[in-house]
Structure formats: structure tokens, C-alpha cells
């Protein structure tokens, strides 16, 4: 890939990420504001910035985040089907909507950068989904919330690492754009767990 096409890909990803961040995820589940630790100004690709290659850190984040998105979409659908309260069902719908949108941006960015990403959750995530499917009633709600909180805590930690240590401006910009949504999800899930 030429330097010009890499720069074009980075600029396109930055524009998409900026537009997405301005939309705020498109949900009405703003029960808790984004955590104050979200970056005020994320590193963005600029026309004069040198094009950085996609590092192992960038590739790992793209792959892990793709699998997490797929797992969260599936788990959200499961909550919509098996949740016992409107709150659990609503949280499930939020995860489906937001992670579907984030996944579309991620797969487009990965494709532009020539990074192959998985088409299924990890084996651990698949096992967790199978375990959740066996649950029912209030026990399902409790186990689902616990699993989603743990998943979002991991996703936030990995995303912060990408923002700090990634090389590709396009991938770092994407990570910066999804962090507030992950933080909002975590706050909403923790609030539901406390009620």
C-alpha cells in the first residue's frame, strides 16, 4: 500500500470516528455521563502527520475488540430474550445497537488497513455465552450483568492501552471514539447491578 493510500485510509477513519463521537452512540441510555477519564482530545490523523504502520498492538486491539463486539451483540440479544426486567432488556438492546455500530466502523477500518479480524467471539467468550444461555430468571439477570461488567472493564482497559501505545492514527482514533460508549455501558450496567 502506498503512503498516499495509507494517509487517505487514516483520514477517512478519523473522519468516521469524529462523526461517530459527535453522535454519542445514538442511544437514549445516558443514565450516567462518560467517565471523566476519557481523553479530551484524541490523537487524530492530520494531513501533515506521518503515516505510521499498523503495529502488533493495533492489530491485537482490532482483533480483540472485534471479538468483544460480536460477543456483546450476542449477549445483548440474549438479554432481550431472557431478561426478567425491562431494565435488562433495555440494556441488551443498547449493547446490540452500540456494538453493532462500533463493529461496522472497526471492520471498515481493519479492511482499509489490511488487517484481518475474526468472524466469531473467542472460545472463552463462546463458553461464557453458553453458560449464560443455561440461566433463567433473576439468576440470569445477575449473571448476565456480572459478565457484561467484566467484559466492559476488560474492553476499557484494552482500549486505553491502544490509545496510549498504538501506532496507527486511524486505529488510535477509532479507539478514542469508542471509549466513551464503553464507559457509558459500564456505568449503566453497574447502576443496574446496584438496583
- Summarised one tens digit per residue, pLDDT across range 24-55 is 333 333 333 333 333 333 344 433 344 578 99
Place 181 in a pLDDT band, splitting at 50, 70 and 90.
Answer: very high
Q: Find out whether 67 and 122 touch, Cβ atoms under 8 Å.
A: yes
Which has more pLDDT, 6 or 181?
A: 181
Please give the model's pTM, rounded to 2 decimal places: 0.73
3-state secondary structure of 2: coil
pLDDT value, residue 51: 58
Helices (H), 114-168: 123-134, 137-165
Neighbours of 1 (CB within 10 A): 12
Cell of 101: 455500530
CA 32 to CA 82: how far, in whole Å?
25
The radius of gyration of the chain's CA atoms, rounded to the nearest angstrom, is 17
Own/partner contacts of 33-37, CB < 8 Å, gap of 24 or more, are: 33/184, 33/187, 34/180, 34/183, 34/184, 34/187, 35/183, 35/186, 35/187, 37/183
Amino acid at each position: 500500500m502506498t503512503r498516499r493510500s495509507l494517509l487517505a485510509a487514516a483520514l477517512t477513519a478519523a473522519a468516521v470516528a469524529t462523526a461517530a463521537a459527535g453522535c454519542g452512540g445514538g442511544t437514549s441510555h445516558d443514565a450516567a455521563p462518560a467517565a471523566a477519564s476519557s481523553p479530551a482530545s484524541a490523537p487524530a490523523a492530520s494531513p501533515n502527520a506521518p503515516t505510521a504502520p499498523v503495529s502488533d498492538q493495533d492489530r491485537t486491539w482490532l482483533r480483540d475488540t472485534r471479538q468483544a463486539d460480536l460477543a456483546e451483540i450476542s449477549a445483548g440479544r440474549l438479554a432481550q430474550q431472557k431478561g426478567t426486567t425491562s431494565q435488562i432488556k433495555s440494556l441488551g438492546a443498547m449493547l446490540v445497537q452500540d456494538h453493532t455500530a462500533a463493529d461496522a466502523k472497526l471492520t471498515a477500518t481493519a479492511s482499509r488497513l489490511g488487517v484481518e479480524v475474526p468472524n466469531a467471539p473467542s472460545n472463552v467468550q463462546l463458553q461464557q455465552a453458553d453458560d449464560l444461555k443455561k440461566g433463567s430468571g433473576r439468576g440470569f439477570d445477575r449473571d448476565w450483568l456480572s459478565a457484561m461488567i467484566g467484559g466492559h472493564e476488560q474492553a476499557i482497559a484494552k482500549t486505553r492501552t491502544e490509545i496510549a501505545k498504538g501506532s496507527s492514527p486511524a486505529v488510535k482514533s477509532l479507539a478514542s471514539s469508542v471509549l466513551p460508549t464503553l464507559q457509558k455501558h459500564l456505568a449503566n450496567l453497574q447502576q443496574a447491578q446496584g438496583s
